[in-house]
Copies of this chain bind each other. A is one copy, B any other.
């Protein structure tokens, strides 16, 4: 459970002024490791911050991604999902229940021959999660 206090410092360290909205979004990301979409975050936070706009969530998440506070996952064809954990890891998405799981991975494999300087690595696994497989 990450506190508001810690995330405030975390934002400042990345040169971001911690507003109410920004903190709420970062806290949400930190306390829900579900890799939520903009819409999910909006649905969840709107009752708490009644004036909250979806545009703010888009803007804030873009800012977070650019500043290295969060990751944008393109593991789903329809929606972008966000991850507050920027440490090295992969993701697994269940094609049935659509949940996204973290996959621990200490380092990504680097190919010997690559056409340039790598700044980001995204490793996505897709399949059927154990939960869904047991339900068949």
Q: Are A92 and B116 in contact (CB-based, < 8 A)?
A: yes
Tell me the count of chain A residues lying within 8 A, CB to CB, of chain B: 36
Contacts A77-B74, A77-B80 given; indicate if A128 touches B124 (C-beta within 8 A): no
Interface residues of A in 84-124 (CB under 8 A from B): 90, 92, 94-95, 101, 103-105, 109, 111, 113-124
Output the residue of A105, A109, A114, A118 with the most chain B CB within 10 A. Answer: A114
Q: Which residue of B lies closest to A113 (CB)?
A: B104
Residues of B contacting A75 in the complex (Cβ-Cβ under 8 angstroms): 74, 122
Chain A residues packing against B (C-beta within 8 Å): 72, 74-75, 77, 80, 90, 92, 94-95, 101, 103-105, 109, 111, 113-133
List 10 additional contacts besides A101-B115, A118-B125; criterion CB under 8 Å. Answer: A74-B74, A74-B77, A92-B118, A103-B115, A104-B111, A115-B130, A116-B127, A119-B128, A121-B124, A122-B125
